[in-house]
Amino acid sequence: DAGVTQSPTHLIKTRGQQVTLRCSPKSGHDTVSWYQQALGQGPQFIFQYYEEEERQRGNFPDRFSGHQYPNYSSELNVNALLLGDSALYLCASSHRQSFSTGELFFGEGSRLTVL
C-alpha cells in the first residue's frame, strides 16, 4: 500500500519564479492538506482540499494556490517566489470519514530553496 508520495523531493528556484509541487494521497484517502515547514520550525497549515475544492485556508497570501484532481491527487503552486518561501512543503492525506480521529498521513516533503 503506497503511502503519501510527493514530487519533486528537492528543487531550487530563483526569486520571482513560479513552482508547482505535487502530491498523491494514500490509497483510499480523499482529502489533501498542505503545510509549510521553515527550517527549525513546526509546520504551518496552508490549505486543505477535498471534492476538488479548497475547503480551509491558513494565513498565506494568494500567491499560494492549489488544485485537486478527480483522482484526489493535488498540486501546490507558488507564484512570484520570495526568499522566505524557502521551506519544506509537506502534503498530508486523510479521509473525510475519519476527520474525527484527526489522523493525517504525511509525505516526505518537497524541499524548496529560493535563491
Site residues (CB under 8 A) for another protein? 33, 35, 40-45, 48, 55-56, 58, 88, 90, 92, 99-104, 106-109, 111
- Cβ-based nearer residue to another protein, 34 or 81: 34
Q: Is 58 exposed, middle or buried (0-12, 13-18, 19+ CB in 10 A)?
A: middle
Distance in angstroms (rounded) separating the CA atoms of residues 69 and 95: 15
Instruction: Pick between residue 14 and residue 98 the one whose CB is nearest to another protein.
Output: 98
Distance in angstroms (rounded) separating the CA atoms of residues 76 and 89: 9
CA-nearest of 99, 22, 16 to 56 is: 99
Whole-number minimum distance, CB 60 to another protein, in Å? Answer: 12
Q: Which residue has the cell 500500500?
A: 1
* Cβ-based nearer residue to another protein, 30 or 106: 106
Minimum gap (Å) between residue 102 Cβ and another protein? 4
User: Could you tell me the smallest distance in angstroms from the CB atom of residue 16 to another protein?
Assistant: 27
